[in-house]
Structures are given as C-alpha cells and as structure tokens.
Amino acid sequence: MFWHALVVGALTSKSYAMLRFPCSQLVTERFDPLVTPGQVSPHVHQIVGGNAFNLTMDPSLDLPNLATCTTCRFKEDKSNYWTAVMYFKHENGSFMRVPQIPNHFTGQSYLKYGYYDIRSWALTFRCWDTFGSPVDSFALPDRACNGGIRSNIFFPSCWDGKHLDSPDHKSHMAFMEGDVGPDGIFFRNSTCPSTHPVRVPMVFYEIVWDTKIFNHMWPKDGSQPFVLSMGDPTGLGHHGDYLFGWEGDSLQRAMDVCTDVSGRPADCASELTVLTDEEINSCKLPPMVNENVEGEYLSALPGCNPLQEGPQSATMVANCNAVSTTEIRPTPTPSA
C-alpha cells in the first residue's frame, strides 16, 4: 500500500479541518481518461480508487454504482485519483520503477510567480533525512534522501462559480491569493481572487517514494537518477488527476461532522465506513495495455518518452510506434 493523502475538508479562514486517508494501488498503466479519453495515454500513471476506472470515463457515468470496490480507506469513496510514476535510471541506461511506502490539473513549474507565491508551492518534493528537518524543493532532490522522497500536489481550490470545465481543463479554477508562510501552509489568511470567488474543498496528494533503496546505486558523477514516466528528469512536470465518485452526500456529511484537524479516518467512522488494509488491497483491476511497466530492468520508459532535460519545453514524439499504442486488451469486468 502507498499512502495517498487528500485534504478534502472545509479548509476556510474559519476552519482547518481535514479528511486524510490512504489508498492502495488499483492498476498501473498508460490510461488518462481526462486528457486522452478513448486513447492510450503517452505516459504511465498509477491509479487508485474505485474499480469502475476505464479508458473512457463519460461524465454521465454513475461511478459510485458502477464500482464494486475501492482501494481507498472509505467504502463510500469510489473516486479515481492518478499521478505519474517514478523510475530509477540505472547507469546502464535501463529503468526500474520506484516503489512506494506504505478536477484535472497538469503539472508545470510555477516558480516564475515568486518563491513565496502560492502557485509556486502547489507542486513540490520533500527530501526526508534520518536527522534534521525535511527539505522541500520544486525539482527532484539532487542528492540521496535517507528516508525517501515525498511528492506533494495541491489542487486549485477557487471556482469561477459558472463553468464545470474549460477548454484547457483548468481555467475555471484558480489558486488562492496570498503568501506561503514559513511552515509551508499556504491556505491560512488567503482568499480567492475576484474572478474565482467560490471556495471549494482543497484536494492534496502525498505520494511517498521509497527512493532510499537506490541510494547505494547513486551515479558516480553525482547526477540525479530519478525520472518521471513522461521522460521528465527534473520533476517540474509532476501532476495529478481527480475524478469525483463519492456516494450520495457522503463527502458533504463527512465535511460537516468530521472536523478534527488531525484528519484520522477513525475519527470519521460515524459518517463513513472505514475499510481495513486487507479490503482495500484486495480491490484490483488487471491492466489493459499490453506492455510491461514494472520489472527490474526496462530498456526504455513505456510509450515514446525519451528523457528531456530542458530548459526548453518538452515535446511529444511524433508517430510513436510503440506496440502498446494500439494494442489494448478487452475491457475486463470489475470484480469485488
């Protein structure tokens, strides 16, 4: 299981309550029904949540009723959440997936807005060390982290109040205005811009990567060896996706009642059904894209994703001839 935390509580100027819970993995493959519906995605994602997840997710689908199980702690949460996958690049050029420790917003570097601007801190990495305080950075850490690396993704939490989507899938949402405090908490004393006046719950992902198992293989030249599944060795393009699928009014009930700032699932057991580790780990979907995305030594990243260091913007590979681009297995029937 990896810990996938979401801050979905009513984080307003009057309340800092949160609902924080782990999810285990549902499936890992090149699917992204929000960005590339009906097509194999250019790069690999790890997907968690309800087992109704598929290549095409029409907005009219009733996810809570279609899904028969979920990999998240609360039974009522049949939503789907997905992020890019991290790989370790061996010195021989092969790749190995990095394991994890037990609305759509595409990642990009926001540092141009200023170091203390909220938008700059929406996408960060935290280097955990055995001693001392953790160190946060906008790019992947350039040194071995004794306790692993955590990637953090804050979603925009201000809505224009009019549009459920926009052509670029993000303009109808905006980040709050204000500065990041010294503790990294940026939603305190912050307000929504006049163009997006409606405050909505903030969604926050934490993905903890067990990079410490690769520390003894750190390149002799000191170069940073980790790369995201889209061929990004900087980390500035890490991103997350969210497809809402909570049953009925279950999330609203939880936000109304479960207001403890700790966000522990057990404290919300009066409103939501708390699943065991065994129950959430038993919820799985077989991959439909016919390719290997795991393995000890992958000769290349799945899809057509060469490493692109920058500083220029990354470009898509034209006429990708990866076998898996068109080879998809029949849709499996979700099983409990």
Is residue 331 over pLDDT 70?
Answer: no
Is residue 295 over pLDDT 90?
Answer: no
DSSP per-residue string spanning 86-124: EEEE-TTS-EEEPPB---EE-----GGG-TTBGGGGSEE
pLDDT band of 310, cuts 50, 70, 90 = confident
If you compute the radius of gyration of the chain from its CA atoms, what whole number of angstroms results? 20
Pairwise CA distance, residues 136 & 214, whole Å: 20
Task: Identify the pLDDT of residue 57.
Answer: 86
Is 156 within 8 Å of 173 (Cβ atoms)?
yes
Task: Identify the pLDDT of residue 92.
Answer: 92
- Mean pLDDT (the chain) is 82
Is residue 2 over pLDDT 50?
Answer: no
Task: Identify the pLDDT of residue 131.
Answer: 59
Domain that holds residue 317: 1-336
Q: Which amino acid appears at position 82 of this protein?
A: W
CA torsion, points 283, 243, 152, 25, in degrees to nearest 10? Answer: 10
Is residue 4 over pLDDT 70?
Answer: no
What's this model's pTM, rounded to 2 decimal places?
0.87
Q: How many domains does the chain fold into?
A: 1
Residues 6+ apart with CB under 8 A from 165: 172
Q: Do you find a cis peptide bond into 193, omega within 30 degrees of 0? A: no
Three-state SS string over 43-61 comes to CCEEEEEECCCCCCCCCCC
Tokens 């990079």 found at = 211
pLDDT (tens digit per residue) in 210-258:
999 999 999 989 899 999 999 999 998 889 998 889 999 999 898 888 8
Q: Which of 47, 7, 84, 107 is nearest to 284 (CA)?
A: 47
